[in-house]
Structure 1
C-alpha cells in the first residue's frame, strides 16, 4: 500500500495575514476560495514539495498556533536560512542536537526560539555536517512552529 502525506491543516487566526506570510516564504498559492462569510480555504505548496498546507476560516477548530514541529527539508541550511531572513522571516540561528539526527524540541509555548527547550541543542552546524543533523526554526504569525532540517543525502529507501 502506498500512503503519501498530502496536506497539513494549519490553525490560524487571521487568514490574510497567514496568506501574506506564506507568500513571503515562497510557497506556491494553489487555491484561495471562499463560500460565504463563514468558510474560506487557502492552499499553499512549499517549493519542491509534494505535501501542501491549508488554512482558512471554518477549516479547523484547533486553536491558532497549535501546529508544531513541521519539518521542511533543505539541501543547504545556511543558504535556505539566509534566503528566508532576506524575505523578512524571523529564523533562529542554525543549531544541531547533541543526540545527532532529531531536534528534541517540543510543542507548546515558544517552540521555535527558546534554545532551552531543546535537549542537547548546540549552536552551529552539525560538526560533521551530517545529513539530518542541522536545524533552524521559525514560526508563522500565529505561532505554528516549523523546523528547517538539512538533508544533503537521504537515507536508503527515502
Structure 2
C-alpha cells in the first residue's frame, strides 16, 4: 500500500504575513478557505513538490515557529539559494557536513561551501519563515538506491 505525505502543518502567528512570504517565494496558492472567524485554512505548494504546507486559524495548537527541519530538495543548491534570496528569503550561505542537516542551528558542524566532492545529500542551506519555522535546502544530484 502506498502512503504519500501530502501536507505539512505550519504553526504561524499571522496568516496573511505567512501567506505573502511563501507566495513571494513563488509557491502556488492551492486554497484559502475561511469558515467563520475561528477557522481559516491556507494551503501553498513549493514549485515541483507533491507535498504542500497548510496553516491558518484553528489549524494547529503548535506554537508558532516550532516546526523545524522541513526539507526542500534541489538538484542545484546554488541556483535554488540564489532564487530564494532574490525573492526575499533569509537563506544562509551554502555549507556541507551531514550533521548540519540534522542540527542546522549548530553552526560549529558546518563546513563552508558546497560539498567539495559534489556528493548528494551533503550540501545544505537553511532559512526560516517570519515566525521561525525552519527549512533546510538539501542538494541531491543522484538518489540513493531505492529512492
TM-score (normalizing by structure 2) = 0.95
Report the CA distance between 1:127 and its aligned residue.
1.1
- 2:143 aligned with 1:145, yes or no? no
Unaligned runs of 5+ in 2: none
Over the aligned positions, Cα root-mean-square deviation in angstroms equals 1.4
- Structure number having the greater helix percentage: 2
Report the CA distance between 1:50 and its aligned residue.
0.6
Residue 51 of structure 2 corresponds to 51
Residue 114 of structure 1 corresponds to none
Residue 115 of structure 2 corresponds to 126
Residue 84 of structure 1 corresponds to 84
TM-score (normalizing by structure 1) = 0.89
Report the CA distance between 1:51 and its aligned residue.
0.8
Aligned length, in residue pairs: 147
Moved over 4 A (4+): none
Mapped contact 2:100–2:110 kept (Cα < 8 A): no
Residue 93 of structure 1 corresponds to 93
Matching of residues 1-150 of structure 1 within 5 Å: 1-97=1-97, 100=98, 103-105=101-103, 111=105, 117-118=106-107, 120-150=109-139
Report the CA distance between 1:156 and its aligned residue.
1.6
Give the Cα–Cα distance (whole angstroms) in 2 for the partners of residues 35 and 20 of structure 1.
Answer: 20
Report the CA distance between 1:120 and its aligned residue.
2.2
